[in-house]
C-alpha cells in the first residue's frame, strides 16, 4: 500500500479515482474486521470471567451450607452431652449481642 504525504490545502485523494476508492474501501474493511476481532476477543474474556465468578459463587454457597450443617450438628451434640453448658453459652452470646445492640 502506497503512502502519500500530506500538504495543507492540497487534496490528498480524488473521489473519482477508482484506486483511491478501492484503497479507502479496503482500509475500512480491514478496520472493521480488526474491530470485530477485538470485540469478539473481549466478549470471550468477559464470558470466561462471568463463568469463573459464577463457579466461585456456587462453591462459596456450598461451603456455607457445609459450615451451617457442621455448626448445627455441633449444637445438637452439645445439647445432648452438656445441656446446661450450652444454655449458659446461649445466654452469654445473647447478653453480648444485646450489649452491642445498645451502642
Q: SS3 letters for 41-59?
A: HHHHHHHHHHHHHHHHHHH
- Classify residue 98: in a domain, yes or no: yes
DSSP, collapsed to helix, strand or coil, labels residue 82 as: coil
* pLDDT tens readout for residues 8-56: 555 555 555 556 565 667 777 888 888 888 988 889 999 999 999 999 9
Q: Which residues span the domain enclosing 73?
A: 22-102
Nine cell digits for residue 45: 474474556
* pLDDT tens readout for residues 77-96: 988 999 999 899 999 999 99
- Classify residue 17: in a domain, yes or no: no
How many domains does the chain divide into? 1
- Classify residue 75: in a domain, yes or no: yes
Which residues, 6+ apart, have CB-to-CB distance to 6 below 8 Å?
12
Amino acid at each position: 500500500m502506497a503512502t502519500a504525504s500530506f500538504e495543507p490545502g492540497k487534496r490528498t485523494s480524488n473521489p473519482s479515482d477508482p484506486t483511491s476508492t478501492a484503497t479507502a474501501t479496503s482500509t475500512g474493511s480491514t478496520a472493521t474486521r480488526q474491530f470485530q476481532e477485538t470485540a469478539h476477543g473481549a466478549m470471550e474474556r468477559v464470558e470466561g470471567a462471568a463463568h469463573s465468578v459464577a463457579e466461585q459463587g456456587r462453591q462459596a454457597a456450598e461451603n456455607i451450607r457445609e459450615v451451617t450443617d457442621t455448626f448445627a450438628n455441633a449444637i445438637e451434640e452439645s445439647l445432648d452431652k452438656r445441656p446446661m453448658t450450652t444454655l449458659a453459652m446461649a445466654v452469654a452470646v445473647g447478653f453480648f449481642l444485646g450489649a452491642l445492640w445498645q451502642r
